[in-house]
Amino acid sequence: MARDSESSIWVEKYRPKTLAEMVGQESVVPLLKAYAAKRSMPHLLFAGSPGTGKTTAALALSRDLFGEGWRENFLELNSSDERGIDTVRTKIKDYARIMPLGDVGFKILFLDEADNLTSEAQASLRRMMERYSGSCRFVLSCNYSSRIIEPIQSRCAVFRFKSVSEAAVRLHLERIAKAEKSHLEDGVLTAILTYAEGDLRRAVNLLQLAATYADPVTEATIREVAGAPVREDVAEMVHAAIRGDFEGARRRLLALLTDRGASGEDIVRAVHRELPSLPDTEITAREKMRILEYLGEIDFRLAEGASERLQLETLLARLALARAGPG
């Protein structure tokens, strides 16, 4: 990998160019390779969490299909920016109706975050997929396939992208660090994996941010730039609450929100990871289930704009009340 300017974005700089270069997604890549080899494919629906390789797979598939002329036969639109029916009726229709260039019998329209399209726009898109299937294949990407209407799903081969394995993320980060001549101390990659949670894009961004911040990169650097609560801090907060030390738990919560700059969503996710590991002598299995159910409610309220501190203090109160009694 050639070294670009210091200001280059590593996610794009080291994005796999072909399907053969992709890491992870062992159940998806071989099928996409088969499509490229046969130069034939149906409409596709890529579903999965952010940072699992959906966009990379679409770009790599196009390069493998069309070669050097892939840009003339590939259009990418983001449904978060253009989610209405007018986009479907104008941009998508204008592109889909034009015949492809080269010896492949179709071109590709990649619609990212398709689950953000309105129901009306999706219905119009379904008709486009039927009408222009001779000249264009649609590749739709979404985080939640349940938000895609059934008539579209039934017209697509559905590929579900799982979180990238820790081994694959580690290998990719090691390659980048070597190419960028970044020095990583022991434990750095493990810390990145903890914060990234299978999101390869987040992992690469954390590595670049930390490498820009300090050389060599240390675990402390990763904690500094991650902007997420340290697991040990969350564990101490949870244990304090379960012991009945509500005020101590509140102080730890305030430190996470102010000193560390953690978001409410970060803390909810960290508590969700910590809860299953708590011994039954501290909190019963039934109470764990009740707290997990309540975590879902809090996550929804935070997404709707509720007060982070108020919601999280209520969670601590629930934990304090849920502590296991004697016997």
Give me the numbers of helices (H) and strands (E) for the chain, helices first please: 16, 5
Question: What pLDDT score was predicted for residue 2?
Answer: 38
Query: What is the identity of the amino acid at 215?
Result: D
Tell which residue, 306, 203, 310, has the closest CA to residue 253: 310
Question: What pLDDT score was predicted for residue 215?
Answer: 84
221-271 tens-digit pLDDT: 887 787 666 677 888 899 999 988 999 999 999 988 887 777 888 888 888
**Residue 326: is it exposed, middle or buried by C-beta count within 10 angstroms (0-12/13-18/19+)?**
exposed
**Residue 245: is it exposed, middle or buried by C-beta count within 10 angstroms (0-12/13-18/19+)?**
middle
67-119 tens-digit pLDDT: 988 999 999 988 765 555 666 677 888 888 888 888 888 999 999 989 888 88
CA distance 190 to 254: 27
Residue 1 has pLDDT above 50, yes or no: no
261-300 tens-digit pLDDT: 778 888 888 888 888 888 877 888 888 888 989 999 998 8
CATH code of domain 166-225: 1.10.8.60
Tell which residue, 257, 261, 244, 242, has the closest CA to residue 311: 257
Q: How many CA atoms lie within 13 A of 127 on its CB side?
A: 9
Question: What pLDDT score was predicted for residue 6?
Answer: 47
Question: What pLDDT score was predicted for residue 276?
Answer: 84
User: Contact, 23 vs 188, CB < 8 A?
Assistant: no
CATH of range 25-161; options 3.40.50.11240, 3.40.640.10, 3.20.20.140, 3.40.50.300 = 3.40.50.300
How far, in Å, are 16, 17, 32, 64, 269 from residue 37 at the CA level? 18, 16, 9, 8, 41
Domain ranges in the chain?
25-161, 166-225, 231-322
119-162 tens-digit pLDDT: 888 998 999 999 998 899 999 999 989 999 999 999 999 999 99
Cα Rg, the chain, nearest whole Å: 23
Q: pLDDT averaged over the chain?
A: 87
User: Contact, 162 vs 52, CB < 8 A?
Assistant: yes
Q: What is the mean pLDDT of residues 163-180?
A: 92
- Domain 231-322 in CATH 3.30.450.270? The answer is no
Look up the pTM and report it: 0.76
